[in-house]
Amino acid sequence: MSKIDVHHHFYSTAITEAIENAGGDPSGWTLPPWTIEADKEINVAVGTDIAILSVTAPGACIESNPVNAAKLARQINEDGAAIRDAHPTKYGFFASLPSLLDTDLALGEIEYALETLHADGVVVFTRYGEDYHYLGHPDFQPIWKELNRRKAVVFVHPTHLADTRLISPHLPQPMFDYAHETGRTAIDLITSGALENAPNCKIILSHAGGTLPYLIYRVAGMIPHTPFTIGKTTKDLLTLAKRFYFDTALSGSKMTLDLLYSFAYPGHVLFGSDFPNAPREGIEYFSAMFDAYSDDHQRNTREAALALFPRFR
C-alpha cells in the first residue's frame, strides 16, 4: 500500500540562497541538493504517492531581520503552493512562518497561507530566540489561539540549540540533539497548559516524538507528587501527551515502533521520510523496516494521514 509522507522537505531557490548567504545551516548539517525530479524519484523508490512538503529548520528564521524573515516565508509558501498546484494529487505543503516571537508577522502569514494559498497546515520549530522560548512559552499564546481557531494541522520540527557547539565533530545536531529538542518542546506544551488550550490543533511531532514517549512516564509519575506539581494527575499528563501525532521519520526500527505503538493513540502514527536531509540510503533503510513491521501498519498510517488531510481521499 502506498505511503503518505508527512515529513518531507523541499528547497526552493529562495531558502537555498538564504541559507548559503547566512553561511550555512547553524545546526552543522550540510545543505542537501533538491529538485522536483529527485523528489519524485525517492517517492517511487520508497512507495510514497503523496508528500506533504515543508521547509526544515531554521526555515525563514535564517533571516535575523523580522521583515526579511516574513518576506522569505511568503516566498517559500508561494513556492510550495506552486508545486502543489502543479501536482495537486501528489503534493501538499505546510506553510513556513517567520519567528513566532514576531507575533503580528507570524499571524499575518498564517492568515495568508491558510486562507489564500490553502496550505495543508503550518510548520513550527521547537524553540525560538536565543533564550529558549519553547512552544509552550506565554509569548506564543496568540499564535496557538489563532491556530486553534482555524483547527490547524501543526507540524513541529526540531531546530538547533542556541548553543551550537557539537558533542562531537562527527555528530551535527540533527543526528542526536534534535530528538531531545522535540521532547523538550512537547513536555513544555504539556506542562505550560498550551496543549490543553489548543484542543482543535492536530500537532505532529517529528521523529516518533523524539524523547517524549520514552521519558513521559518519568515526568508524569513524579511531577504530581513534588513541589513542582501543576495540579494534574499522572493520568492527566499521559492523556495530554497521547494527544500528539507522531511521524516515523528516521524512526522505523522495530524497537522504536513497538514503543511508539504502545504509547500513541490509534490513528496517531504517520509515515515520514525526512527527504532530502536524510541520506537516501538512510531513508531506504528505515523505510524497509517500516514496511516490514506488520501487516496492518502501512494501512493504518495511511488512513491516519487521510484523516488529517481528507482532500487526498
Could you tell me the pTM of the whole model?
Answer: 0.97
Dist CA 217 CA 204 (whole Å): 20
pLDDT in tens, 51-63: 999 999 999 999 9
Q: At what angle do helices 66-86 and 103-111 cross, to 10 degrees?
A: 20
User: Does 5 score more than 90 pLDDT?
Assistant: yes
Q: Are strands 133-134 and 127-128 parallel, antiparallel or unpaired?
A: antiparallel
Residue 161 near residue 131 (C-beta atoms within 8 A): no
For residues 205 and 208, give the distance between their C-alpha atoms in angstroms, rounded to a whole number.
7
**pLDDT above 70 covers what percent of the chain?**
100
Alpha-carbon torsion angle 192, 197, 198, 200, nearest 10 = 150
Q: Over the stretch 262-297, which tens digit does the pLDDT of each residue have?
A: 999 999 999 999 999 999 999 999 999 999 999 899
CATH number at residue 265: 3.20.20.140
- Band of residue 34 on the pLDDT scale cut at 50, 70, 90: very high
Report which residue type is found at 270: L
Can you tell me the mean pLDDT for 32-45? 97
* Segments forming the whole domain that contains residue 149: 3-312
How many structural domains comprise the chain? 1
